[in-house]
Structure 1
């Protein structure tokens, strides 16, 4: 059974809601306990005040020598459903009873006895139907000898007060829940809105449309994520553009030699080419075939390198001899393009480096090929080898058109080509990417300096010896 998809908005909203409700319930519980204790204390304090009023009424009645005033006055002030007043004599006999309750209230004789002994007694009787607060206290007179010795006050509207407060509290709680839910819903919508927008933009990216950008409205983690999305879009757009250019370049570079080879083969088969010129055309076909082989090898190399399937086996070998052999291999092409190579240094001196000889042959071969390709006719390519401490630096300088300063940082990228107009057959734009990957595998360094209209210089820095050899 497929699980139901729950959006992050719903998760966030319900998390906030449950947390708010839990906090509200905890607050309500604590509030109720505090309110209950405070209400009980308020009832008890109220009984003390009412006991003082009874004593004052008795004093006034004795001053006027009118005991009927006791009954009339206490009846008036006790005209409440939540209070009852009982007055006892010195023998514990009930003299007056003022109560609106139909059912009698049972007063413990022990409470009366303690009050007659001069003690004030307070009790809370937990009756489910009608809980009572009862206070029995002695009546103390300063001027008169009262027949009335004990007053008992009973408050019995505790639930009425509590229920009234509960009603207000429930109303306030309902309003709070509605307002809180609305606020949390709006807040969750606002927080998750950028995420929904990012999801929409990501779907557009998946379809290959990188023109949409995330609107950055904050500088928090979500804002930073939005900036990352936009940066990713720029990178993907750039990579997609390079990919399209690469496909176009590779198609062009493969179609041109294949078209030439196909044409030459057709001409040879038709007998259009005279026998005395057939060898020349076969060499042309060989050159075009070698171009195709190099293109395919470069593509395989970059694929293996980026997949982490290429490792290096560094050894100490003769770098000077390697450079001399590369120059010798390129001699036919140098003569064909009328370009000179100058090797500055002692040709008889051998300089060793610690590197993978085959891979470095690929590095220097690519750099020399680039220098030759971009050099003008009768141009000069200069190779310099310098030793500095434990390193060897190889400089390869050409007199080509140079590279613009803003383009230098892109020359190591896959498929990047300086000659976008393809005015010269200078490869597919992956040669320098292969060079950079190989140098990085050696943990060595390569950098470039270029000036438009003057030329370009690449510098490769390699260690002279292995670490183990240095330690020895």
Structure 2
């Protein structure tokens, strides 16, 4: 018997025991009281019958199947079957109340009822032994119910306990496998309740963890590769310089290459630290309202010369309603600049020569959408949903490093939504959306 089944049996036993105890108390107090009242009611009826008989013929009292006495003028006249005359000397019937009891010389408890009439006080009584016998029967019935419930409960609890615990034990087994990084779990529970919902959640979690685990391995592999290449260059150049195998001019050139690779490593380390801080929410954004139109124009100015060198046309398109307004966005200008810088830089990197890069700012469903669209070779569909979560490495271009992962964290911390689409096989769109509660604008300024 598993632990949960034992608990079910224990709780059931506690409940049924409590019910039986309460039933014992109720039967002792309530049932006995009800039964005694019913007996007093019967005695009252008997006393009224005796009175009716007395109105007819006194002699009939001796032939009645009712035990009692008639008290008239201090004379006690017993009636009914039995030797009641022997009681009369030890019992003071005159002091009995309307509903009372007395003990006979044989220690037998008798219930009595006194009816005052014009013919005298009629006292009828009967033994209380019936009450004790009645309660004994009730107690025996309750005990039988208790034992029967236990006999029936044990196999039923074991049966239903297994039905209840087997899915839980399955969930426990699967959780253990997931903890060992075995994400290929078989978990198809059909219980029609919260356990089935939990199983589906656990199955979904396993898929997510498998994806995250794979991305983490790729991340470490790619980071290791990007560390290894500059370190190898630094070592080779340093060894050549130390061994005196190169002249002064070559040594100077090697030193410049070493500095360049060190800067590259330093940038990589800073990006890793930045991503770690953003994901750990260790950075507080310096939020303030910035003029969005001026902000976008400034970004275009920064990249115009670079685009001109690569024969790429960079354009900025702003919806008329926004371009004719002062639009202020609640954001950290430095971090938001980094996002746009990364988007535009990637667009330039992946654009074909003579292509176009469009920066579009539009108002859609009361939200502002900023999109960077470039003509290139697009992003493979099998990885487009993962580029925000991993160290994306491209076989042809060499990769875009940690840029998009950092952008993802910056945009999430701002409360902006974001995404990437292939509008066609050669057109890629990166965008983020600013919700209506994070910007304000009025038609007061023209650009």
Q: Indicate whether the TM-score tops 0.5.
A: yes
In structure 1, the residue matched to 2:215 is 242
Paired with 2:159 and 2:182, the residues of 1 have a C-alpha distance of 31
In structure 1, the residue matched to 2:276 is 303
Give 1:250-399 correspondences, 5 Å limit.
250-270=223-243, 285=258, 287-313=260-286, 314=288, 315-316=290-291, 319-326=296-303, 328=305, 339-344=310-315, 356-375=332-351, 378=353, 380=355, 382-384=357-359, 393=370, 395-399=372-376
2:392 is aligned, of 417, 432, 436, to 417
Q: Give the secondary-structure state (helix, strand or coil) at the position aligned to 1:410.
A: coil
Paired with 2:332 and 2:79, the residues of 1 have a C-alpha distance of 118
In structure 1, the residue matched to 2:111 is 133
Paired with 1:172 and 1:223, the residues of 2 have a C-alpha distance of 39
Q: Give the secondary-structure state (helix, strand or coil) at the position aligned to 1:37.
A: helix
Paired with 1:102 and 1:173, the residues of 2 have a C-alpha distance of 45
Paired with 1:155 and 1:24, the residues of 2 have a C-alpha distance of 29
Could you tell me how far 1:35 is from its partner in structure 2? 2.3
In structure 2, the residue matched to 1:117 is none
- Equivalent residues of 1:84, 1:155 under 8 A apart: no
Could you tell me how far 1:397 is from its partner in structure 2? 1.1
Could you tell me how far 1:103 is from its partner in structure 2? 7.6
Paired with 2:417 and 2:139, the residues of 1 have a C-alpha distance of 80
- Equivalent residues of 2:13, 2:150 under 8 A apart: no
1:450 equivalent to 2:426? Answer no
In structure 2, the residue matched to 1:439 is 411
Give 1:5-154 correspondences, 5 Å limit.
17-44=13-40, 92=75, 94=77, 98-99=81-82, 104=87, 108-110=92-94, 123-125=99-101, 127=103, 129-134=107-112, 152=124, 154=126
- Equivalent residues of 1:345, 1:385 under 8 A apart: yes
Q: Give the secondary-structure state (helix, strand or coil) at the position aligned to 1:395.
A: strand
- Equivalent residues of 1:403, 1:456 under 8 A apart: no
- Equivalent residues of 1:381, 1:399 under 8 A apart: no
Q: Give the secondary-structure state (helix, strand or coil) at the position aligned to 1:228.
A: helix
Change (3 A) 1:107 1:218: same
Q: Give the secondary-structure state (helix, strand or coil) at the position aligned to 2:314.
A: strand
| TM-score (ref. length: structure 2) | 0.69
Could you tell me how far 1:253 is from its partner in structure 2? 1.9
Could you tell me how far 1:300 is from its partner in structure 2? 1.1
Paired with 1:239 and 1:54, the residues of 2 have a C-alpha distance of 96
Q: Give the secondary-structure state (helix, strand or coil) at the position aligned to 1:236.
A: helix
Could you tell me how far 1:432 is from its partner in structure 2? 1.0
Paired with 2:116 and 2:433, the residues of 1 have a C-alpha distance of 108
Paired with 2:417 and 2:128, the residues of 1 have a C-alpha distance of 94
- Equivalent residues of 2:233, 2:258 under 8 A apart: yes
1:230 equivalent to 2:203? Answer yes
Larger Rg, first or second structure (1 or 2):
1
Q: Give the secondary-structure state (helix, strand or coil) at the position aligned to 2:81.
A: strand
Change (3 A) 1:14 1:208: same
- Equivalent residues of 1:122, 1:136 under 8 A apart: yes
Q: Give the secondary-structure state (helix, strand or coil) at the position aligned to 1:99.
A: coil
Paired with 2:283 and 2:222, the residues of 1 have a C-alpha distance of 25
Could you tell me how far 1:55 is from its partner in structure 2? 11
In structure 1, the residue matched to 2:321 is none
Could you tell me how far 1:236 is from its partner in structure 2? 2.3
1:208 equivalent to 2:181? Answer yes
| TM-score (ref. length: structure 1) | 0.66
Could you tell me how far 1:450 is from its partner in structure 2? 0.8
RMSD value over aligned CA atoms? 5.3
- Structure 2 residue ranges without an equivalent (≥5): 318-325
Paired with 1:264 and 1:103, the residues of 2 have a C-alpha distance of 133
In structure 2, the residue matched to 1:401 is 378
- Structure 1 residue ranges without an equivalent (≥5): 1-6, 78-82, 113-120, 140-148
Task: Give the count of matched residue pairs.
Answer: 421
Could you tell me how far 1:239 is from its partner in structure 2? 1.6
Could you tell me how far 1:436 is from its partner in structure 2? 2.5
Paired with 2:247 and 2:22, the residues of 1 have a C-alpha distance of 103
Paired with 2:174 and 2:341, the residues of 1 have a C-alpha distance of 44
In structure 2, the residue matched to 1:142 is none
- Equivalent residues of 1:88, 1:150 under 8 A apart: yes
